[in-house]
Amino acid sequence: MSWIEALILGLLQGLTEYLPVSSSGHLAIGSALFGIEGEENLTFTIVVHVATVLSTLVILWKEIDWIFKGLFKCRLNEETKYVLNILVSMIPIGIVGVFFKDTVEEIFGSGLMVVGCMLLVTAVLLIYSYYAKPRSKEQISLKDAFIIGLAQACAVLPGLSRSGTTIATGLLLGNKKESLAQFSFLMVIPPIVGEALLDGLKIMKEASTAEAGLSTLSLCIGFLAAFLSGCAACQWMITIVKKGKLVYFGLYCAVVGAVTLICSVLS
């Protein structure tokens, strides 16, 4: 992987991690176009995912600080309830990670047909959530947190946007737009960090970075590109959700999904 390819893929990951267009789907498409696969692709994917997690910590630091300060008070307050919601939302993705990790990895290596189909599913979710008008709720309940967590577990499929799926599900449940983006971004931090640690240990056992064909320069450039673009996209996405403009991303996913399907059939 050249440093230019690392720069492009890093920017792609950072921007699409938070925008509801599927970072995994776009990264799979970009990797296919550059001919990057196997251990090289896995190593780079882990690095840029860690970069986007760090960008979340930077942008949402005030909210994270608020949560930890509340937890140290050692009583059932708003901060503790928020953490409980996040923990409950992690149950489905934890089950998938423990029991179905190999199956998910096989799906990721099955080509762009799945990516195209899941991008179309993302489009349907975003467009439907835009026009649906459920009864509004004041707070995200434990039940809603679990359902949103189920949506996040389904979004392990390449092309099914994690942020788009979780936010659209929350909107369909009647939760307020103002709180959904923040909750969606915070709930993904523990699973991504845990997955990155497990995959990192796997790579250290099986192959070194050099053996994977990645230079230190490419990794650093990819990391910085993903981090900086992730910071911008995270802040932008929070504003977009508050304004309720997700339908345009639904139309984008529909176009990209259709083009990806056509290309995969013709190739």
pLDDT digits (tens, 9 = 90+) for 170-185: 988 888 877 787 788 7
What pLDDT, on a 0 to 100 scale, did the predictor assign at position 213?
Answer: 57
Nearest to 231 by CA among 21, 57, 55: 55
The pLDDT score that the predictor gives to residue 108 is 59
Q: Which residues of the chain have pLDDT under 70?
A: 36-42, 71, 73-75, 101-102, 104-111, 195-196, 198-214
Q: What is the pLDDT of residue 74?
A: 66
pLDDT of residue 148: 92
What is the sign of the dihedral through the CA atoms of 2, 199, 102 and 14? Answer: negative
What are the CB-based long-range contacts (under 8 Å, 24+) for 188-191?
Answer: 188/53, 188/56, 188/152, 188/162, 189/53, 189/56, 189/57, 190/86, 190/90, 191/90, 191/93, 191/94, 191/97, 191/152
